[in-house]
Structure 1
Amino acid sequence: MDYSYQMYSARNEASLDDTLKTLAGLGYKQVEGWGGQFADPAALSQSLRNAGLTMPTAHMGYGQLEDTDAALRIVEQVGIETVYCPAPPSEDYRNGKGDWAGFAQGLARIAAAFKAAGKGFGYHNHHWEFVKDANGKTPMEIILDASPDLQWEMDLAWVVKANEDPIAWLDKLGSRITAVHVKDIAPAGQNADEDGWADVGHGTLDWKTLIADVKAKTKARFFVLEHDKPSDAIRFARRSMDTLKSFGA
């Protein structure tokens, strides 16, 4: 399996070209882009080629995706197969005030345009998407119910942070999951400077078992390593890849 690396984890690195070449040297074949990288798609494409990497998946914010034709032009130029919207469009959704049904319909419209263009489209969760509404539905379910064309990139660690059982969600909606973020949670009280996240294999999640579960229960094609706030993005990339290689997966 070729593991990918979410480039948001390396957003503070000085040189994109150097970072991509370092990732390739560590054994990565793919990376996942994020919205801040797409100001110059041609230059990004050249940097990827120079490093021998591809970018099959990417994150684009909802505001960026609303100009769907422009987003699709970027997708074509960079060679992206599937885009995931990484979060709701405003703080309201994080505070229980957002219109999840309306947002879901907007995502469904984008998904239809992407499908017509031969591309995949979906949504990436945090923990906000698991607070049930008055009818007992979670925002994650509302989003996926809006269109069968909407895929789910499960950020499994955020599911755990939401006090949910990720295996139960794999069982329930595994057919909609086409990618998984591989990230780890530090033991309680540790890594405060990294917002409580950890390098993969150096936290509390049993990723060897979880990867097997994801393979068995979902359609996931992409396993994307991410750390929301690493103090050293290259250390995270190296130690996490070492962990995954030790699984033989």
Structure 2
Amino acid sequence: MTMTAYHTHRQAGKVAADTLNRRHFLKLSAGAAGVAALPLSFGVSAHNHKSAGAVGLQLYTLRDWMAVSVPATLKMVAAVGYQELEFAGYYNHKPSEIKKIIDGEGLSAPSAHTPLTDFEGGVNKVIDSALEVGHKYVVLPYLTEEQRGSTIDVYKNLAENMNQWGEACNKAGLTLAYHNHDFEFIQTDGEIPYHVLLEETQKDLVAMEMDLYWMVKANKDPLAYFKKYPGRFKLWHVKDMDSAGEFADVGTGTIDFAPLFARASQAGVEHYFVERDKTQDKMATLIQGQKAVAALL
């Protein structure tokens, strides 16, 4: 996911007008109502799974739908069986409005992605919005190429800033986290940026959101990180990879999730979010992801 996408979120009304017409909106609303009306015997209903944890969804997966109608999209998500949400923008809705919508659907939103520029603009504003919605975690999701720079000092400075932001979050009852891609594993000035972030942030102030797809994409073993840094990985993005190294619906690709979920306690994970950055069939992705993760919990 890119920072461009987050800027796009902030102009959701324009995006909706340009890319999704009223016909699409009506289809989405009808689809949400239709799924909500399905009986409890429907194969993906959350009531059919006696799991040790809730199945969550990173809403970046549904960014096009969210741009059209947040209420209709979240109604559909709840009907499929998801219980938790991770936001990636509020789509011109106030935090109080988001809170009302998720409460109305019986959902919770323990986490939200918040761009670096928002933290730099003032962490207190980030905290206020998060508390109003009911988030527990605020996650730094991505660094643009410009923000990454070309030296390891960029990550050392980021770690220092994250400790400060994390302390402010901690005082407010929140936890700051960092979400990885694969670029954090490219050696820079003889060091691995991801290791710098792990080593130079305080574990009681900064957690990590491990994206399992990007870890595998970077040829890294999540289990090795769970062992070396136990308890640090409070959030996961459960995202699968096809044989060509591209995105796949969870449980249909090449990543063996069972050994990872077996070490969830060591990792320290509290919330699991299904995600697929690009998908041609959003509903199929939703249903398959919910079913696959519920079976693993």
Q: 2:140 aligns with which of 75, 85, 106?
A: 85
Given the alignment of the two structures, is residue 171 of structure 1 paired with residue 220 of structure 2, yes or no? no
* Structure 1 residue 6: Cα displacement: 0.3
Equivalents in 1 of 2:189, 2:149: separation in Å? 15
Q: Say which of 84, 89, 102 aligns to 2:157.
A: 102
C-alpha deviations, 1:67-88, integer Å up to 9, x for none? 1111111011100011110012
Q: CA–CA distance in 1 between the matches of 2:73 and 2:93?
A: 18
Q: Percent identity?
A: 29
Partner of 1:205: 255
Match of 1:9 among 43, 47, 61: 61
Gaps of 5+ in 2: 1-52
Deviation at 1:93, TM superposition (A): 5.2
Aligned: 1:111 with 2:166: yes
Cα 1:180–1:60 change in 2 (3 A) is: same
2:60 aligned with 1:60: no
- Return the letter of the residue paired with 1:146: E
Structure 1: 5+ residue runs without aligned partners? 190-195
Against the structure 1 CA distance between its residues 79 and 34, is the aligned structure 2 distance closer, same or farther, given a 3 Å change threshold?
same
The residue identity in structure 2 corresponding to 1:6 is Q
Instruction: Choose 1 or 2 for highest CA Rg.
Output: 2
Contact 1:37 1:44 in 2 (8 A): no
Partner residue, 2:201: 147
Counterparts of 1:182-193 in structure 2, within 5 Å, are: 182-188=238-244
- Distance in 2 (CA, whole Å) between partners of 1:37 and 1:76 is 18
* Greater Cα shift, 138-147 or 13-22: 138-147
Q: 1:228 aligns with which of 277, 281, 296?
A: 277
Give 2:13's aligned residue. none
Closer, same or farther: CA 64–46 of 1 in aligned 2, 3 Å? same
Task: Give how far 1:96 is off.
Answer: 4.0
SS in 2 for 1:230: coil
In structure 2, the CA distance between the partners of 1:143 and 1:211, relative to structure 1 (3 Å rule), is same
Cα deviation code 1:187-233 (max 9, x no counterpart): 117xxxxxx201000111112232112x1421110111111112222
Q: Is contact 1:93-1:128 (8 Å) kept?
A: no
1:16 Cα deviation from its structure 2 partner: 1.4
| Aligned residues of 2:150 and 2:188 also touching (Cα < 8 A) | no
More moved, 142-151 vs 175-184: 142-151
Q: Which amino acid aligns with 1:198?
A: A
Look up the SS of the partner of 1:75 in the other structure: helix
Contact preservation (8 Å) 1:93, 1:100: no
Return the alpha-carbon distance in structure 1 between the equivalents of residues 224 and 106 of structure 2.
Answer: 38
Partner amino acid for 1:209?
P
Aligned residue-pair number: 239
Instruction: Decide which of 216, 220, 223 is 1:160's aligned counterpart.
Output: 216
TM-aligned CA deviation for residue 21 of structure 1? 1.0
Instruction: From 26, 49, 53, give the equivalent of 2:80.
Output: 26
Q: 2:82 is paired with a residue of what secondary structure? A: coil
Q: Which residue of 2 aligns with 1:192?
A: none
User: Residue 39 of structure 1: CA displacement?
Assistant: 4.9
SS at match of 1:12: helix
| Residue aligned with 1:28, SS | coil
Give the Cα–Cα distance (whole angstroms) in 2 for the partners of residues 80 and 112 of structure 1: 16
TM-score calculated relative to the size of structure 1: 0.89
Moved more, 75-84 or 32-41: 32-41
Counterpart residue type for residue 202 of structure 1: T
Alignment root-mean-square deviation, CA:
1.8
Deviation per CA, 1:100-136: give whole Å up to 9, x if none: 111221212111110111111110100011122334x
Q: Report how far residue 243 of structure 1 moved.
A: 1.9
Q: Deviations over 1:147-206 (max 9, x none)?
A: 3111101111101111112221121123211111100001117xxxxxx20100011111
Relative to the length of structure 2, the TM-score reads: 0.75
Alignment counterpart, residue 49 of structure 1, candidates 103, 111, 132: 103
Q: Render the CA deviation track for 1:32-62: whole Å, top value 9, x for unaligned.
A: 0113547521211111112111101111011
Q: Distance in 2 between matches of 1:112 and 1:234?
A: 39
